[in-house]
Structure formats: structure tokens, C-alpha cells
Amino acid sequence: MPRRPLLLSVAVACTYGAASAAWADGSLGGSVDVTSDYIYHGLSQSDGDPAVQGDIHYRSGSGGALAENFIGLWGSSIGRYATGATYELNAYAGRTFLIDPDSSVTAKYVHYAYPDTRGKAHYDYDELSGTWAYQDRFFLTAAWTPDTAHYSEHAMVR
């Protein structure tokens, strides 16, 4: 089975599971931000320019629950230099489990999309991750991005 349909199936299953449980008792939230430079993994995504960012999400199980589901959509303006796009959208879903009062584990799926990309290359990709957190101060994350582009010395290869 090709990776894209498999990842899409996993994403739909995670989103459905999180959404069906989440609607029972949860909260809707969001944010709007303006930043002087959108930096991700040490690289400027806005070419050193300001960026407008926003998030809308739904969380369930808040208020002492042992597990919490979440789904959401995050977006930001970006510089056209890297991807040819002017904005990025990230759809995400996941579940956080409380292990004890000091630690938790989160499993998350994120789809990174660049809807207005110009040119032949497509920069959209998926990420599956797991994070262990201790006292919300120390985090250990393992992530897998199976469909990112492969780069050679001279070009991007899909």
C-alpha cells in the first residue's frame, strides 16, 4: 500500500477517534499571534519578516481526566523563498495520557500543508510523533516523517 493512503487512513482514524470522544466534554480554544520572525527548527520560515499566526482547537477530558483528546488547525504566513507558498496550514490530532501527577505521554499526527505553492514541487508532508513530558519542563520527543522530500546535492527528489 502506498504511504500516502496509509497515512491518510491513520490520520482519519486518529481524527475520528479524537473527535468522537472529544465532543462529550471539552473546550474550544484558539489564538491569534503576530511575531517578528517565524522560526521553525532553527530556520526562518518568513525570511526574517513578521508573520501572522492563528490556531483553533478542541480539547476533551480537561479537569482531572487521565487522558485528553485534541484536534485543531494552525496556520502562519511564510516567506515564498523556500516553498513558493505564502502560508502554511497544519492540521493536527492526538491524545495525551497522564501517567502520574508529574509526567504524561502524547501521541500526535500533524499534516503540514502549503496550499498555494507555486511550481512543480509539493512540500506537504505528514508527521507522527510521541512525546514524554516531565513536570511540563523536560520533554523527550520521537517523530517520524515518512513522506518528506529527499534532497540531493542539486535538487529535491520525490
pLDDT by residue (tens digit) across 136-154? 899 999 999 988 766 544 4
CA-based torsion, 6, 130, 79, 81: positive or negative: negative
Q: Mean pLDDT across the stretch 76-93?
A: 88
| Average pLDDT taken over every residue of the chain | 82
Read off the pLDDT band of 15 (50, 70, 90): low
The count of other CB atoms within 10 Å of the CB of residue 76 is 19
Q: Where are the domains of the chain?
A: 3-157
Tell me the sheet residues that pair with 142: 130
Q: Mean pLDDT across the stretch 47-57?
A: 94
**Which comes out higher in pLDDT, residue 18 or 40?**
40
Cβ-based neighbours of 119, under 8 Å, separated by 6 or more: 84
